Each structure stands twice: as C-alpha cells, then as structure tokens.
Amino acid sequence: MKFNNKLQLLLTLLSISTPINTKSFKIEEATIKQIQTAFTEHKLTSTQLLNFYTGQIKSLNPILRSVIELNPDAQFQAEKADEERRNGKCLGELHGIPVLLKDTIATKDRMNTSAGSYALVGAVAPRDAGVVEKLREGGAVIMGKSSLSEWYKFRSLSGVPNGWCARTGQGVCIECFSFMENMQNPYYSAGDPCGSSSGSAISVAANMVSVSLGTETHSSIICPSDHNSVVGFKPTVGLTSRAGVIPVMPSLDTVGPITRTVSDAVYLLDVIVGYDPRDHEATAEAAKFIPVGGYKQFLNPNGLKGKRLGIVRNPFMNLLNESIVSAFEHHLNLLRKKGATVVDNLEIHNINQIISPKQSGEFTLMMAEFKLALNDYLKELITSPVRSLADVIAFNQNNPEIEKIKEYGQDSFIMSEKTNGIGSKEKKAKELMKRLSRDGFEKLMMENSLDAMVTPGSGVVSVLAIGGYPGITVPAGYDGNGMPFGICFSGLKGTEPTLIEIAYDFEQTTMARRPPFLKTYQLTRDPLFGSI
C-alpha cells in the first residue's frame, strides 16, 4: 500500500473508528427532508443528530479548523426540539436541524462573534442578528460558529490567506486531507479553500453540520462553495437582513445559505428572508421579490425546460484548465437536452473594468463604507475590547504574534481608517458601479431575454458583487487533479425563483457532487475540546 506523503501515513496510523450513524438512519449526506422524515418515523432525534455532528467536529476539526466554537446551549435546543415534536409541534423544515453560523453573525448567547480575531473575543452583542432571530423562530439548533478568512480578509486583501484567522489558524480545504482506500485523493491535495466563508463551506462538505450560513460582499459564498463541492446561494442584496452582522460594505453585503444540496439551500433561504426594521431600507426594497408561498415551490425537476441561458466565455473560461472546459461543454449539451435554449458566446460590456475592483469603483467605496459601518457596529456592542476600527488596528499592533501582523499585515485596515466618510469620490464610485451594471450585465440579460447567465467556477463574482445580484453555485465536477468546481447560475435582482428552478434541475440531472472519503483523526489537542 502506497502513501502520497508522510502526512497521509501519519493520519492513517492515527485514524480511529467512531460510530457515525444511528442504527436505522445514515446521517452522512442526509438532506433536511430526509432528516425530517427520520424524525417523523422515530429513527432519529435532534439530540442524536447534534451528537453525531459534535463527534465529527471533535474528530476532524483539529485538522480542518473550520469551526471556531460550539454553542454550549445547543444540547438544550436539540432536546427542546425533540420534546416539541413529541408534543405534536412542528416549526417547519429547520425544526431541530443544526446550523453553523459564520463567525461574523451575532448571537446573543454565550458564544463570541469575533470575525476570527482575538480583538473581539469577549464582546457582547445587544441582540441576535436578524437572520438568527428567524432561525430560532423556525426551531433551528444554533450549533456554533464557523471559521473564516479573518475580518473577511479585509484586514489585508493581499496578505491574509484564504481560510486563515487568528482564532483557529489556517482552515484547510477538505480535499487536502481526503483519501480513498486505494490511496488516491478524491480531491486535489493542494486545494485552496477560498474565502471568506471557508469554514461554513468546509464544515458542510465534511458532514460536520447539516447546513450553514455564510456572508458575501465579493465572492465569499460563491467561491468557497465552488472550491469545496457544495451549494452556495448568494441572495439579492436586502433579501436577507444584515442587522447584527459584522459589516464590510453595507451597499453590497448579503447573507446566504451554504449546503450540500439545492433543496437544503432553499429550505434555509425560506426561513431567513424577509423584512427587518433594523435593516429597513434594504429589506423593505427587496421584500417585494419574495414570492407568496416561499421558495420551495420552485424546486422543479423540469426547471430547465423553456429557459434561455446565456454563456459568457470571456474572461470566465480563459484561465480554466482543459478538464473543466471539457466538463462545462458536456454540461451545456445537457442543458440543451433538458429543454433550455443556450445562447453562446455573449459578451458583457466593459467586463475588464467590472472585474477589477479598483477600476469599477468597488474598492474606493468599500474602503469608506467599511470604516463607517464597522464603527457603528462596534459602538452598539454591550461590552467590547474595541470600539472603532482605530481600536482594532491598535489591538493588532499590540498583539502582533497572535494576530500575525508581521506575516499578514493590516494595510487595508490602515487605508480604510484614513478615509473620511462618503464624499464626492465615493459618490462617483457608486454611480460608476451602477452604470457598469446597467450597461453590462443588465443589458446583456434584457437584450437577449435571458433567464440566467451560466459560468464555470467563481469568476463571475465581480459582476454579481457590484450590482447586488443573486447567484447560486452547484457542484459540477472535478478537474484533472480532482479539485472540485461548480457551475454558477446568476440573474437580475429578485430572480431567485428562476435560479432555483434551473439549479435544482441541473443538480438532480447531474448529481455531480461526491462526498469526500474522510478518515476520523484523534490528535493531542483541539481548542474546542481541550485535551482529547
């Protein structure tokens, strides 16, 4: 038996056997619908489900580093859900389902909300984030906080690695430690987990939780989902509340699901959308898009029939390897066979300017908005070690070792701190982004009567970012090295129902995702559990 490297040999020697399923129901890869059926048939309880995921985290987190902390109240919540079901009470599809939250989504409980930084450890939020309130109302079990690229990588856009934060260290793409019985990696051993919602994507992919929430300003849901073979759903900006979420750029920030299936993403989306008075302007504007009866009615296995899909090859396919290009062409033929009209070789006006944050105006506006929004967020905390961006910069300077300032820097923080609000430069940047979106993506969609644009990988994120548009990435295969890639379906604001129909039909037809073959490892110490 051959091993690819010494690390694989070590991990195999350390592997242990742990019971991972109940006797009558296999939890791994189970969908929300399957789990709810198991609840109804008394094959599974929320407590058993939570214990399974806790075991997975205990075994895998020392390596994957995708979970920052577990909720000490999660056991009580699971037991409460079990009792409610015994008494005939059902709160919906998420009742009793464990959910991980990106560590920028505030909870009013015993957990931290820290953006992965030690600067916010011990801070106390005044209330749950808006999306967390909705999750609790829906009976979800708030299991814990997932890791991320610290401060959304905004501390230093060129320095902080994808998936790294001070509190957990480097999050690892699941493919980096996955291997099958024949010792061939199912995924690429040098894979980048992408960011910033890396922990949410890794945890879902590795069956450490049922579903998770991420956030996106520019690529942070789509990219890690693409890289870890899971579904990532970036909603229209304002469809989900950002209240109580550590901000980056309020004009572009959004909260969305990261799951293993399209249906799970839709069930989660149904719970978290809606108006929030604490995020009034954005959620009031987007509320008009929410369909009567919710989004699950659009889980249509024939959703591709009659759809017009636009293909923009330049520049999204320019840097892809041959295996991905070949797979993408195969999927285009599949879309046609399923009844879609594929309009190929389209171009987005000024695309090179759009995909450059510094040329599109996005970078300029982000620098100013971040300082203003973060200062407002920090001032509302009940207690906090820091109360402003200037305080965070000082904390990092005073704690250079734990925050790795020498290695990764904080140049973006310093640049943002030097801004002075929204002036003429920032207003011009905002108008430029609107014009580029109107004359680019919107014009493309309307002139060609498209239902969605279809692109491989995550290269489309800049287009979606500057216009606040929705997109959903679905696992589509693995390149020649075994690295996962997805196909992203994107549309104009409020077109989530159409995107769901398209993505669900594509997923059900291809069933391209395969779970990683993960051994469980018991190392000497894990920060979540102490000595083990």
Active site positions, annotated: 102, 196, 220
For residue 257, give Cα distances in angstroms to 82, 131, 439: 24, 11, 29
Q: Which amino acid is at 210?
A: S
Q: 120 near 114, Cβ under 8 Å?
A: yes
Give the three-class secondary structure for 211: strand
The token pair at 394 is 């000082």
Q: 442 near 467, Cβ under 8 Å?
A: yes
- Helix, strand, coil distribution of the chain in percent, nearest 5: 40, 15, 45
The token pair at 5 is 């490297």
For residue 232, give Cα distances in angstroms to 46, 99, 258, 399: 24, 15, 5, 35
The token pair at 19 is 């019971």
For residue 452, give Cα distances in angstroms to 298, 311, 338, 435, 470: 15, 9, 15, 20, 10
* DSSP H helices in 106-235: 130-137, 198-205, 222-227
Q: 501 near 300, Cβ under 8 Å?
A: yes
CA distance 103 to 370: 17
For residue 507, give Cα distances in angstroms to 4, 116, 490: 32, 33, 15
CA distance 14 to 10: 6
The token pair at 298 is 């659009």
Q: Which of 489, 511, 507 is nearest to 498 (CA)?
A: 489
The values of phi and psi at residue 308, to 5°, are -105, 120
**Neighbouring-strand partners of residue 309:** 342, 452
Give the three-class secondary structure for 510: helix
Q: Length of the chain, please? A: 532
Which residues, other chains included, contact 156 with Cβ-Cβ below 8 Å and sequence gap of 6+?
A: 408, 409, 410, 411, 412, 413
Task: Name the pairing type of β-strands 141-146 and 164-165.
Answer: unpaired
Q: Which amino acid is at 79?
A: E
The token pair at 210 is 């049922």
